[in-house]
Amino acid sequence: MRNKFLVILSIIMQFLAVGTAMAQNNKIKIPDIPGFYTLKGDFHMHTVFSDGHVWPTFRVNEALRDGMDVIAITEHMDYEGFPEEIERDYNKSYEIALEAASKKGLMVIRGVEISPRVPPYHHNAIFLEDANSFPMGYMENTHKQFVMKDSLTREQLMAPFLEAKKQDAFVSYNHPSFKWWDKKDTLLFTDFHHELLEKGILKGVEVVNSGRYNIIAHRMAMKYNLTLLCNTDEHYDMYPRYADTHRPMTLVFAKEKSIAGIKEAMEAKRTALYFGDYLVARKKEALALFNSSVSFNAVKQDRGGEPIVVVTIKNKSDLLFNIQIKSKFDIEEFPLGQLELGANEEKKLILKAVWKYPETTYLNITVGNFLVSPDEALNLDLELPILEE
């Protein structure tokens, strides 16, 4: 009898443990910013309809588990992994995913990956009308192997990009400098890419792929004014790779929760990248996201005759921030004013030697894990009114 009770108890405990773990790993709380919804997206994923190893509904279930708002399925338009089992149809994976996602609050975007193994290399085209109409004249064999023609013309390589333009797609450069790419070309931004820019075709670049930050891509994004993207490019079950962290994602700041809203936001470059404990964004979005996540409040206090100011720092999000604070007053306890502000954490900072209370005080804040360029962390000046106790 007692044993049975213990067994039941341990089952309940396990269930609770799994529940807690899931609550921690999934449905990450990230606030909206003024005027925009913060939507969680992954715009690069594969299924068995190209070289992935899962069925499209699997991608939908993963995304629902992870609390995503939007995903794009982007099969290689020039490769079939299972031609005997699956008929070539690059709209099919999108259609299957869309049906599984409908009425579940997850948006699905139709896309393809244009994947030549010579410059311009891999690019995604998303927000498509038809994923099957992309010309692949540069391919010799697409069945379970990737064989390009011996002599390639620029026209053959350009043709799928012109099709993307015809469909008013959003085209982004995927994982620049991928393992087998020509490493002698350190820029990786060729005259082909310049032509894509001039034609208004190229709009984004994957700065983070499979959780890996790419400084070449980040520099490229800043130099050519491209939208920053962070995608999983997952081909298998996503879970083992991110068992100890959250799934990497692109945060899209959209005026409305719709496919059109997401497209408008991406074209306006309103994104932030969230991978591991790092964030990457342009200064404007970085500032808005930090200010929506973390609040500061300063109160004057008399600590046994010692005048101090207590600054309460509160994180309302599930994001982690490594902060360094500078003040003209001495900061108690935190060396160099450095502190880690975990998810939903509140910390109190004491400013001392405040011999004469001012009306307001200034803090200079550097957020070390929030990049606004490849060489620069988010930095802001904060004017805080000093309130009565």
**Residues in the site for Zn ion, rule: CB under 5 A?**
51, 122, 174
Given the complex with Zn ion, which of 116 and 261 has the nearer CB atom? 116
Q: Which residue is nearest to Zn ion (CB)?
A: 122
- Name the DSSP letter for residue 143: B
Task: Check: CB of residue 251 under 8 Å from CB of residue 39.
Answer: yes
Kindly state the smallest distance separating residue 112's Cβ from Zn ion, in Å.
11
Kindly state the smallest distance separating residue 122's Cβ from Zn ion, in Å.
4
| DSSP-assigned letters across all residues of 248-297 | PEEEEEESSSSHHHHHHHHHTT-EEEEETTEEEE-HHHHHHHHHHHEEEE
Given the complex with Zn ion, which of 226 and 294 has the nearer CB atom? 226
**Considering only CA atoms, which of 141, 2, 323 is closest in space to residue 311?**
323
Given the complex with Zn ion, which of 69 and 206 has the nearer CB atom? 206
Kindly state the smallest distance separating residue 123's Cβ from Zn ion, in Å.
9
Kindly state the smallest distance separating residue 183's Cβ from Zn ion, in Å.
17
Task: Check: CB of residue 306 under 8 Å from CB of residue 323.
Answer: no
Given the complex with Zn ion, which of 25 and 174 has the nearer CB atom? 174
Kindly state the smallest distance separating residue 69's Cβ from Zn ion, in Å.
23
320 in helix, strand or coil?
A: coil
| Burial tier of 355 (Cβ tally within 10 Å: 0-12, 13-18, 19+) | exposed
Given the complex with Zn ion, which of 175 and 218 has the nearer CB atom? 175
Residue-wise over 42-54: b if at least 16 C-beta within 10 A, else e? Answer: bbbbbbbbbbbeb
Given the complex with Zn ion, which of 36 and 173 has the nearer CB atom? 173
- Counting DSSP H helices and E strands in the chain, the numbers are 8, 21
At a CB cut-off of 8 Å and minimum separation 6, what does 60 contact? 71, 97, 100, 101, 104, 106, 108
Given the complex with Zn ion, which of 42 and 69 has the nearer CB atom? 42
Length of the chain: 389
Kindly state the smallest distance separating residue 81's Cβ from Zn ion, in Å.
9
Q: How many CB atoms lie within 10 A of CB 222?
A: 16
Kindly state the smallest distance separating residue 59's Cβ from Zn ion, in Å.
14
Given the complex with Zn ion, which of 212 and 316 has the nearer CB atom? 212
- Side chain identity, residue 217: A
Q: How many CB atoms lie within 10 A of CB 269?
A: 18
Kindly state the smallest distance separating residue 348's Cβ from Zn ion, in Å.
47
